[in-house]
A and B are shown apart, each in its own frame.
Chain A
Amino acid sequence: MFRYIVRRLLQMILTFFGATFVVFALMFANQDDPVQALAGEKPVSASLREALTERYHLDEGFFGQYWYYMTNLLTGDLGESISGREISALLETAWPVTVRLALMALVIAGVFALAAGVWSAIRRGGIFDNGTLAFTLLLLALPIVVLAPVAQWIFAMELDWFPATASRNASFYALLLPAIVLATTVVATQLRVTRTSVVENLGADYVRTARAKGLLPRRIIWVHVLRNSLIPFITLIGVDLGVLMSGALVTEEVFNIPGVGSKLAQGIRTEDGPMVVGFVSILVIVFLVMNLVVDLLYAALDPRIRYE
């Protein structure tokens, strides 16, 4: 286990520097004169230009600036947005509602995917199985940019079942519709993976043994099979997190939820470069760390991984 953790950590460090480097390089791509960009149309005086160059280390070259960007990022100093607000402060007010939304979406998707996945695996080829297959295909084909506005229009405006927007301290109920919409981005893959691995496990030797022992079918499925089928499901959660982040960007924008996603969308709209890059950097780090956690969890669950 120890060797696995060390190897995984080394990999993570490499990916971390690589990914932040790419984000940084993306920010630099096609940038000609940041001082002029900051000033807009106004002419910049020589002394102001010098002061800004000094302050943002613009004379340091690409790698020098990457060094400053990394040290700032690691010490939690994300700099200021163009409107002059601390980016870390913006992030601090925005993250709780986003985390709540993402957790709700994960739970909704997970519960539905496990229940429906197990059920359609047991009744393979039945009406329910074919129905869920068609349903997941439909979900895969509905991009969040279609689903979120259309769901808001149908369920919040026409039918009036849910509120159309949610505030920072939104109730569970107000976040329910956005969370369901967000859950649809990950539920289809989760369901298909669960179904496949349950089908695989149902044919395994240990299931036959359990049956021969005379265990209740209910116990075989929900304890023995499900526990083994959870492994691919859990690895998927790491990938899902990236999908959820992208999804939250649109969902929060549509439902006007003042979370990380809508702040980021706002930064994009107002062409607030530092804010967009700061938020994206933090999200990428969260994504990498969560993937590390998921991988370690995976190793803890499945002894076969540890000793490879």
Chain B
Amino acid sequence: MSDPTTLDSRPRSLAGDAWNDLRHNKIFWASAALVLLLLLMALFPTLFTSADPTDCVLSRQHDGPSGGALFGYDFQGCDVFARTVHGTGSSIQVGLLSTLLAGLIGLSFGMAAGYFGGAIDAVLSRGIDIVLGIPVLLGAVVLSGRLSGSGDDGVTAVTLTLGLLTWTSAARVMRSSVVAAKSQDYVAAARMLGAGPARLMFRHILPNAIAPFIVVSTVLLGANIAAEATLSYLGVGLKGDALSWGLQISDAQKHARVAAAPLVWPSVFLAATVLAFIMLGDAIRDAFDPKLR
């Protein structure tokens, strides 16, 4: 994407500009570091704790923090720190995969609607309106309950549910930026040079229209992680032996009067994760959208 005609040796593409801006943004580095830490925790939980999250002994119920268990023990006598750290994995996994699915659906819907326009746009946009007519959590409650079998841990069901219900904002953003990019001169030039629709869409329009989509997807990632915890809290998310912050909050809430630590720590982790992704999205948006500066 670099422009060889400028005398300045540095490439001055949008992505290059944005990166230049991001490099000097403290909020970007803070949130990126937090996201990396969480990813590390999700992939290698044993780096952070050697305790077994499923090792629960009732006799140490609600015991306070100690050298072995930083956050103490919960109602079942499980190590709260170990459970919280091991819960990172499922949260991040569900968040990433459901956002990927939503992103793919949103990208294809938005691209098709924006590029083809006319009747296809009308049909696809009405489709987006219809899905928007269902508040996400309400739709998710019905769908997730339906998708999960009685024996499994619900990871697949929640991922599919959130992916299928949250793609609308990405699709709308993608559609409007494709519509804007479509009428640019370089697209007309490429078309005159004989580029087909597929080449136009993926080589010329997509790279120039994807920035707002990336921003929306980053924020959606945080929202989906929160939604997973909410569904798990309500009993239609992860279940059974699965480790999830939502399940931890749900269990600990009943005993908050006696022991607050099992409630507070998964809450802090969940809030920090959502915050990290929102700040990351904010920083990326500021970098990609010079109008907002």
> Footprint of B on A, CB under 8 Å?
11, 14-16, 18-19, 21-23, 26-27, 29-31, 137-138, 140-146, 149-150, 152-153, 157-158, 242-243, 245-246, 249-250, 253-254, 264-265, 268-269, 271, 273, 276-277, 280, 283-284, 287-288, 291
Is chain B's binding surface mostly helix, strand, loop or mixed? helix
A23 CA to B226 CA, complexed, in Å = 22
Q: How near does chain A come to B34, taking the closest CB pair, in angstroms?
A: 11
The answer to whether A276 and B267 have CB atoms under 8 Å apart is no
Report chain A residues within 8 Å CB of B135: 242-243, 245-246, 283-284, 287
The answer to whether B256 and A19 have CB atoms under 8 Å apart is no
Report chain A residues within 8 Å CB of B229: 143, 145-146
Report chain B residues within 8 Å CB of A145: 226, 229-230, 233, 246, 249, 270
Complex A-B: 24 CB contacts under 8 Å: A11-B129, A15-B129, A18-B127, A30-B147, A137-B278, A140-B278, A141-B272, A141-B274, A150-B263, A153-B257, A153-B260, A153-B264, A157-B256, A157-B257, A249-B141, A253-B234, A268-B236, A280-B141, A280-B142, A284-B133, A284-B134, A284-B138, A287-B135, A291-B133
Report chain A residues within 8 Å CB of B253: 149, 152-153, 254
> Footprint of A on B, CB under 8 Å?
126-127, 129-131, 133-139, 141-143, 145-147, 222, 226, 229-230, 233-236, 246, 249, 252-253, 256-257, 260, 263-264, 267, 270-272, 274-275, 278-279, 282
The answer to whether B145 and A29 have CB atoms under 8 Å apart is no
Q: How near does chain A come to B7, taking the closest CB pair, in angstroms?
A: 36
A273 CA to B291 CA, complexed, in Å = 49
The answer to whether A250 and B139 have CB atoms under 8 Å apart is no
Considering the complex of A and B, which 7 residue pairs feature the smallest CB-CB distances, nearest first?
A: A18-B130, A141-B275, A246-B137, A242-B135, A143-B226, A19-B133, A153-B256
Report chain A residues within 8 Å CB of B235: 265, 268-269
Residue of A14, A158, A253, A283 near B126 (CB, 8 A) is A14
Report chain A residues within 8 Å CB of B257: 153, 157
Q: How near does chain A come to B19, taking the closest CB pair, in angstroms?
A: 23
Q: How near does chain A come to B253, taking the closest CB pair, in angstroms?
A: 4
The answer to whether A143 and B270 have CB atoms under 8 Å apart is yes
